[in-house]
């Protein structure tokens, strides 16, 4: 693609996470447990005298005393609710529904609209845009269509209709979420919530008198907002974040995407299918740095190299000025490590996809002696909030993006369910290594557990061997019938025990295929067991069947790589 207005040559230089995080002072771009499973350690909080006394063995609200009082130590002696959740995103919604199922009297406080990021500005509208980009891509791929014997007239799209599809879907899902909570008797309280104590929260709308409510347990689920590094000026028109991009107000001819993580990659799929040329600016020394390196390599070959995408790695977007007075968007670049200037890029638009920042300001955390870590609320592995002294705050939990453990919708919801289980009296710890993640490009990328480098590091520390097995989509009948044989599934496992350490998939419907592997990790199913599971023929699920069958457990073979099979 044309890069004429790019005024200096780029020298690729090695970059390290540490050096990047100094360049993005809050370090917020690199949050998310799925990228750093080995480096995130469970924080061992000092358990104070009161810290484990918060569980509510009772199930129903029969013990609830209607009027709130206050005991000698300042905590209420009776409560309005069994559980109050602050934030009605997917995390809060998941917790609320499970709380009702457990018979707990539940309220949820929302300061904006129900559904939070995922429904209104995240997963839902982005997947609507990606549904369009998938079809556009297929209809524009003459070679692919010809192989199937199909002829179509030139494919086109109506921008506003595509944008409406995304917006209407968000509205519909928001309605579903609201109705599901109302139908089950969850009280939806409108206004911004502020903690007054671990069991007391005030909420209210601007211009109205605040109300105060109490609960035996409070769950913070306040989510996150786009992180914009200092020096980048957002005008919402030519320099914008995903919040604006999802509205698809225009399709720029040339757009720079700063950050090649989930958001950057998914939007590159959308924009290129709709006719834009894309330039990635990535601070680290590789595109898609969070994924397993082998998957990254293949994904780069298919998702980047064959499209109208170029990229600059090992550079930071130091300053971005929106288009004005007839001048295009200006992006000043510096070397990530040395901070030496690396030229200026001039483009029509820039999407800033450099991570997300927790939304925890104004929550009244000072009233419960909690100090955030770059905005994130520290929790233990049961999502119990840890205070400034390292002690657990009684009755207070934090789930979802606000704790930064794993910034995914289903992780937020699963953490919420886990908390409700705990306050209902059954101990429950979510195994984050079993939580899958997926990037909804065409084809998709999915993963669960450890990447190969993470597994090898763990193996070295703990003294065990690691094996790797792989299967190609080229041997799968269904994939070939669809003319979609480009794909790889990779299994990382212990050859001595048959434990699944990680699975990574790139290929058609990878996001759906990953669940067999994530369930295996969650249930502790060994490869010896799972390899006897029967899969319907012909289905894509046979890719995983092949993968598990090709693993060599108990045979002491450190690397078992299945030869590329002959297509059938």
Q: What minimum distance in Å lies between the beta carbon of 372 and ligand NAD? A: 18
Structure tokens given for 3: 């890069």
Minimal distance in Å, beta carbon 109 to ligand FAD? 5
Stretch that binds ligand NAD, among 432-440, 456-464, 515-523, 557-565 (CB under 6 A): 432-440
Entry field: residues in the chain: 568
116 makes contact with ligand FAD (CB under 6 A): yes
Separation between Cα atoms, residue 34 and residue 52, nearest integer Å: 28
290 in contact with ligand FAD (CB under 6 A): no
One of 29, 365, 368, 544 touching ligand NAD (CB under 6 A)? 29
Choose between 256 and 553: whose C-beta lies nearer to ligand NAD: 256
Cβ contacts of 557 within 8 Å, gap of 6 or more: 467, 495
Q: Does residue 224 interact with ligand FAD by CB under 6 A?
A: yes
Residues 182-221 that bind ligand NAD (CB under 6 A): none
Instruction: Say whether residue 355 binds ligand FAD (CB under 6 A).
Output: no
Please, are residues 279 and 257 in contact by the beta-carbon 8 Å criterion? yes
For the CB of residue 128, give the shortest distance to ligand FAD in the complex, in Å: 11
* Minimum CB distance to ligand FAD, residue 255 (Å): 15
Q: Are 261 and 34 in contact (CB under 8 A)?
A: no
Q: Which of residues 363-392 bind ligand FAD (CB under 6 A)?
A: 363
The residue written with tokens 């599901």 in the block is 180
Task: Find the binder of ligand NAD among 440, 473, 493, 548 (CB under 6 A).
Answer: 440
Strand partners, 193: 203
Residue 355 binds ligand NAD (CB under 6 A) = yes
Min separation Cβ 201 and ligand NAD, Å: 27
**DSSP per-residue letters across 419-475:** HHHHHTT------GGG--EEE-SSSEEEEEE--HHHHHHHHHHHT---EEEEEEGGG
Q: 421, 400 in Cβ contact below 8 A? A: no
Q: Which stretch binds ligand FAD (CB under 6 A): 271-279, 406-414, 526-534, 538-546?
A: 406-414
Task: Report the distance separating Cα 18 and Cα 457, nearest Å.
Answer: 18
3-state secondary structure 60-116: CHHHCCCCCCCCCCCCCCCCCEEEEEECCCHHHHHHHHHHHHCCCCEEEEECCCCCH
Contact range with ligand NAD by CB under 6 A, out of 50-58, 89-97, 348-356, 549-557: 348-356
From the list 75-83, 115-123, 132-140, 141-149, the region that binds ligand FAD by CB under 6 A is 115-123
Answer whether 316's CB lies under 8 Å from 334's CB.
Answer: yes
Catalytic residues: 537
- Scanning residues 296 to 335, which ones bind ligand NAD (CB under 6 A)? 316-317
Burial track 458-494 (b if 16+ CB lie within 10 A, e otherwise): ebeeeeeebbbbbbbbbbbebbeeebbbbbbbbbbbb
Asked if residue 514 binds ligand FAD (CB under 6 A), the reply is no
Contact (Cβ atoms closer than 8 angstroms) between residue 281 and residue 315? yes
Binding-site annotation, residues for FAD: 127, 193, 222-224, 401, 407-410
Residues at the interface with ligand FAD (CB under 6 A): 86-92, 109-112, 116-118, 121-123, 126, 192-193, 221-224, 242, 263, 359, 362-363, 400-402, 407-410, 412, 440
């Amino acid at each position: 693609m044309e890069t004429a207005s790019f005024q200096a040559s780029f020298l690729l230089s090695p970059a390290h996470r540490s050096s990047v995080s100094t360049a993005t002072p809050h370090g917020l771009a690199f949050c998310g447990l799925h990228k750093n499973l080995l480096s995130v350690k469970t924080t061992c909080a000092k358990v104070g005298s009161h810290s484990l006394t918060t569980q509510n063995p009772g199930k129903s609200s029969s013990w609830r005393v209607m009027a709130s009082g206050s005991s000698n130590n300042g905590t209420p002696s009776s409560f309005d609710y069994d559980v109050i959740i602050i934030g009605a995103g997917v995390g809060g919604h998941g917790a609320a529904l499970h709380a009702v199922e457990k018979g707990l009297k539940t309220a949820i406080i929302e300061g904006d609209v129900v559904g939070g990021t995922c429904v209104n500005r995240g997963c839902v509208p982005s997947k609507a845009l990606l549904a369009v980009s998938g079809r556009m891509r297929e209809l524009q791929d003459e070679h692919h269509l010809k192989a199937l014997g199909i002829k179509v007239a030139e494919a086109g799209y109506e921008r506003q209709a595509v944008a409406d599809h995304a917006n209407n879907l968000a509205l519909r899902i928001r309605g579903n979420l609201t109705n599901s909570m109302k139908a089950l008797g969850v009280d939806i309280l409108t206004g911004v919530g502020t903690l007054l104590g671990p069991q007391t929260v005030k909420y209210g709308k601007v211009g109205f008198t605040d109300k105060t409510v109490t609960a035996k347990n409070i769950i913070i689920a306040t989510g996150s907002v786009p992180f914009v590094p200092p020096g980048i000026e957002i005008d919402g028109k030519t320099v914008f974040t995903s919040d604006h991009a999802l509205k698809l107000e225009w399709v720029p001819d040339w757009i720079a995407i700063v950050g090649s993580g989930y958001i950057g990659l998914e939007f590159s799929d959308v924009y290129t299918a709709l006719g834009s040329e894309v330039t990635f600016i990535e601070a680290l020394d590789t595109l898609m740095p969070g994924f397993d390196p082998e998957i990254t390599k293949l994904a780069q070959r298919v998702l980047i190299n064959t499209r109208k995408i170029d990229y600059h790695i090992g550079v930071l977007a130091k300053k971005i000025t929106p288009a004005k007075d007839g001048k295009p968007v200006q992006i000043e670049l510096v070397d990530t490590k040395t901070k030496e200037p690396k030229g200026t890029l001039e483009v029509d638009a820039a999407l800033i996809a450099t991570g997300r920042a927790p939304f925890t300001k104004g929550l009244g955390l000072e009233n419960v002696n909690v100090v955030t870590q770059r905005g994130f609320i520290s929790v233990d592995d049961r999502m119990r909030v840890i205070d400034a002294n390292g002690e657990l705050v009684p009755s207070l939990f934090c789930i979802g993006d606000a704790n930064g453990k794993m910034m995914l919708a289903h992780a937020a919801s699963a953490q919420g369910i886990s908390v409700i289980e705990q306050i209902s009296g059954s101990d429950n710890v979510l195994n984050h290594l079993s939580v899958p993640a997926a990037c909804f490009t065409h084809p998709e990328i999915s993963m669960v557990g450890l990447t190969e480098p993470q597994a090898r590091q763990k193996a070295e520390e703990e003294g065990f061997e690691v094996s790797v097995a792989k299967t190609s989509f080229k041997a799968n009948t269904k994939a070939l019938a669809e003319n979609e044989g480009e794909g790889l599934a990779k299994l990382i496992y212990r050859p001595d025990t048959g434990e699944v350490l990680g699975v990574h998939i790139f290929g058609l419907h990878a996001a759906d295929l990953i669940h067999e592997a994530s369930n295996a990790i969650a249930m502790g199913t060994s490869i010896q067991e799972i390899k006897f599971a029967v899969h319907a023929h012909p289905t894509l699920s046979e890719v995983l069947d092949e993968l598990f069958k090709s693993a060599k457990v108990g045979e002491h073979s450190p690397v078992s790589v299945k030869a590329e099979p002959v297509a059938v």
